A and B are shown apart, each in its own frame.
Chain A
Amino acid sequence: MFGDLRRFDSEWAPGGDWFRRVFDEMWPGLEAADIRSVPRGSFPRINVARTDEAVRVYVFAPGLSAEELEISLQDNVLTVSGRRDADAEPGEAEAAARRTLFRRERARGEFSRSVALPDGLDPERAEASFRQGICEVVLPKREELKPRRITIQAA
Chain B
Amino acid sequence: MPVFPVEEVSDMNEVIKRDTSREPAERRSDAALPAVDIFEEDNALHLIADMPGVRRESLTVEVNDNVLSLEGEMALEMPEGLTSIYAEVRSQRYARRFTLSHEIDVDAIRASIDNGVVHLVLPKKETHRPRRIDVRAA
In the complex, the answer to whether B90 meets A60 with C-beta atoms within 8 Å is no
Chain B neighbourhood of A126, CB < 8 A: none
- Pick from A18, A47, A65, A105: contact of B87, CB under 8 Å: A47
- Pick from A17, A18, A51, A106: contact of B48, CB under 8 Å: A106
Chain A neighbourhood of B20, CB < 8 A: none
- Asked whether any CB of chain A lies closer than 8 Å to the CB of B130, the reply is no
Chain B neighbourhood of A104, CB < 8 A: 37
Interface string of A43-64 (1 = CB under 8 A from B): 0011111111001101011111
Chain B neighbourhood of A6, CB < 8 A: 90
Complex Cα distance, B33 from A32, in Å, reads 27
In the complex, the answer to whether A134 meets B76 with C-beta atoms within 8 Å is yes
Task: Give the total of B residues in contact with A, Cβ under 8 Å.
Answer: 45
Interface string of A105-140 (1 = CB under 8 A from B): 111000000010010000000000000111000000
Residue ID in chain B nearest A63 by CB atoms? B117
- Asked whether any CB of chain B lies closer than 8 Å to the CB of A149, the reply is no
- Counting chain B CB atoms within 10 Å of each CB, the highest count among A2, A17, A61 belongs to A2
- Asked whether any CB of chain B lies closer than 8 Å to the CB of A95, the reply is yes
In the complex, the answer to whether B29 meets A14 with C-beta atoms within 8 Å is yes
- Asked whether any CB of chain B lies closer than 8 Å to the CB of A100, the reply is yes
In the complex, the answer to whether A49 meets B85 with C-beta atoms within 8 Å is yes
In the complex, the answer to whether B36 meets A62 with C-beta atoms within 8 Å is no
Known A-B contacts A5-B90, A63-B117, A105-B36; A49 and B52 likewise in contact (beta carbons under 8 Å):
no
In the complex, the answer to whether A49 meets B83 with C-beta atoms within 8 Å is yes
In the complex, the answer to whether A47 meets B84 with C-beta atoms within 8 Å is yes
Chain A neighbourhood of B39, CB < 8 A: 99-102
Chain B neighbourhood of A105, CB < 8 A: 35-37
Chain B neighbourhood of A62, CB < 8 A: 50-52, 115-117
Chain B neighbourhood of A144, CB < 8 A: none
In the complex, the answer to whether B82 meets A132 with C-beta atoms within 8 Å is no
Chain B interface residues (CB < 8 Å from chain A): 1-6, 29-30, 35-42, 45, 48, 50-55, 75-76, 78-92, 114-117
**Chain A to chain B contacts (Cβ below 8 Å), 5 pairs:** A42-B88, A51-B82, A62-B52, A65-B115, A134-B76
Chain A interface residues (CB < 8 Å from chain B): 1-6, 14-15, 17-18, 22, 25, 38, 41-42, 45-52, 55-56, 58, 60-65, 86, 95, 98-107, 115, 118, 132-134
Given contacts A2-B87, A49-B84, A102-B40, 8 further A-B contacts (CB under 8 A): A3-B91, A46-B88, A50-B82, A56-B79, A86-B48, A102-B39, A107-B35, A132-B115
